[in-house]
Amino acid sequence: MTAPADSLPKDACLLDAVLTFRRTGSRHLPIVDDGRIVGIISERDIQRVSPSLLSNVNQEEYNSVFEKTRLKDVMTRDPLTVTPDTPLRNAAIILNEQKVGCLPVAVDGKLVGIITVIDMLQALILVLPAGTKATT
């Protein structure tokens, strides 16, 4: 897992999320309220709620959406989470079966980290011997 995980408060705006994604290179951000995980937002979520540049929205209106839209209004609420003690295999099963890109890691509801599909691939690289062939 990546710890500590970058996160934003639920009252932050879309612009804060966009800037955090650019600064960190991450694609998922846990949303917290007093340190407790209350939601998650992804780059894809932001694309979904962003006005189309092909519409008749002017630059000021476009920027206003990013400045005025609060994460609590567009986040996925109550995301699936795991604990630091969750076996890696179980976390991988959840990621695969639920088709999610990340799992916040929490202890008593408090965010302590995040595990992503990329983290899982890195773990796979560590456990597979060199020369292992992909089979279908």
pLDDT in tens, the chain (136 residues): 889 999 999 999 999 999 999 999 999 999 999 989 999 999 999 999 888 777 888 888 888 999 999 999 999 999 999 999 999 999 999 999 999 999 999 999 999 999 999 999 999 889 888 877 777 5
CA 134 to each of CA 97, 119, 131: distance values in angstroms, whole numbers, following the listed order? 21, 19, 9
Give the number of other Cβ atoms within 10 Å of residue 30's Cβ.
24
Please give the torsion angle defined by the CA atoms of residues 90, 92, 95 and 96, in that order, rounded to the nearest 10 degrees. Answer: -110
Residues 41, 36, 119, 94, CA torsion sign: negative
Q: How far apart are CA 104 and CA 71, in angstroms?
A: 17
Q: Which pLDDT score is estimated for 136?
A: 52
Instruction: Read off the pTM.
Output: 0.85
Q: How far apart are CA 2 and CA 5, in angstroms?
A: 6
- Write the DSSP assignment of 35-77 as a string of letters: TEEEEEEEHHHHHHHSPPTTSS--HHHHHHHHHH-BHHHHSEE
Domains by residue range for the chain, with CATH: 8-127 (3.10.580.10)
